[in-house]
Amino acid sequence: MTASTAEASVQTFDRARFARVCWSIYAILAASYILVFFHRIAPAVVSADLMRAFGTTGAALGSLAAVYYYIYTAMQIPAGVLADTLGARVSVTLGNLVSGAGSILFGLAATFWEASVGRALVGLGVSVVFVGLMKSNTLWFRDRDYGFISGLTLLLGNVGAILAAGPLAGALTVWSWRAVFVAFGVMALILAVLSWLGVRNTPEDAGFPSIREMEGQARHAGREQHWWHDLLGVLATRRVWPGFWVNLGMPASLLAFLGLWAIPFLRDLHGLERSAASLYTTVALASFAGSTLFCGWFSDRLGRRKPLLVIGTLLYGLAWLGIVHASWKPGVLGMAWFVLMGFGCGSFALTYAGAKEIVVPALSGMAIALVNTGVFLGAAVIQPLFGWIMDLTWVGTLANGVRVYGAADYRTGFFLMLGCVALAIGASLFFHETRCRNITLAD
The string of pLDDT tens digits covering residues 126-180 is 999 999 999 999 888 887 788 899 889 988 987 877 777 668 878 888 888 899 8
In contact, 259 and 383? CB cutoff 8 Å: yes
pLDDT digits (tens, 9 = 90+) for 274-319: 788 888 988 998 899 899 999 999 999 999 999 999 999 999 999 9
pLDDT at 194: 97
Where do the structural domains in the chain lie, given as residue ranges? 12-215+224-428
What is the spatial distance between Cα 128 and Cα 93, in angstroms, rounded to a whole number?
A: 9
Q: What is the DSSP string of 315-326?
A: HHHHHHHHHHHS
pLDDT at 135: 92
pLDDT at 426: 97
pLDDT at 182 over 80: yes
- What percentage of the chain reaches a pLDDT higher than 90? 43
In contact, 257 and 267? CB cutoff 8 Å: no
In contact, 259 and 430? CB cutoff 8 Å: no
In contact, 201 and 139? CB cutoff 8 Å: yes
What is the spatial distance between Cα 16 and Cα 84, in angstroms, rounded to a whole number?
A: 27
What is the spatial distance between Cα 292 and Cα 153, in angstroms, rounded to a whole number?
A: 9
Closest by Cα among 165, 77, 65, 166 to 120: 65
Q: What are the distances in angstroms from CA 304 to CA 74, 239, 270, 353, 408?
A: 31, 16, 41, 11, 42
What is the spatial distance between Cα 443 and Cα 143, in angstroms, rounded to a whole number?
A: 12
- What percentage of the chain reaches a pLDDT higher than 70? 94
Which ranges constitute the DSSP H helices of 223-363?
Answer: 227-235, 241-249, 251-256, 262-270, 274-302, 306-325, 332-345, 350-356
pLDDT at 430 over 90: yes
Give the dihedral of Cα atoms 247, 252, 254, 255; nearest 10 deg: 130
Report CA Rg, the chain. Answer: 22
pLDDT at 206: 87
pLDDT at 7 over 60: no
What is the spatial distance between Cα 41 and Cα 34, in angstroms, rounded to a whole number?
A: 11
Q: Which residues contact 102 (CB under 8 A, 6 or more apart)?
A: 117, 118, 119, 120, 121, 122, 123, 124, 125, 185
Mean pLDDT throughout 222-235? 78
**Could you tell me how many residues make up the chain?**
443
In contact, 270 and 407? CB cutoff 8 Å: no
Fold classification of 12-215+224-428 (topology level): Growth Hormone; Chain: A; (1.20.1250)
3-state secondary structure of 402: strand
What is the spatial distance between Cα 237 and Cα 359, in angstroms, rounded to a whole number?
A: 8
Rounded (5°) CA angle 128-70-165: 80
How many Å separate Cα 385 from the centre of its chain? 20
Residue 268 pLDDT class (50, 70, 90 cuts): confident
Closest by Cα among 130, 22, 112 to 73: 130
pTM: 0.78
Q: Which residues contact 374 (CB under 8 A, 6 or more apart)?
A: 243, 244, 245, 246, 247, 248, 252
In contact, 150 and 372? CB cutoff 8 Å: no
Mean pLDDT throughout 49-68? 77
Q: What is the DSSP string of 297-314?
A: HHHHHHT-SHHHHHHHHH
pLDDT at 4: 46
pLDDT at 5 over 50: no
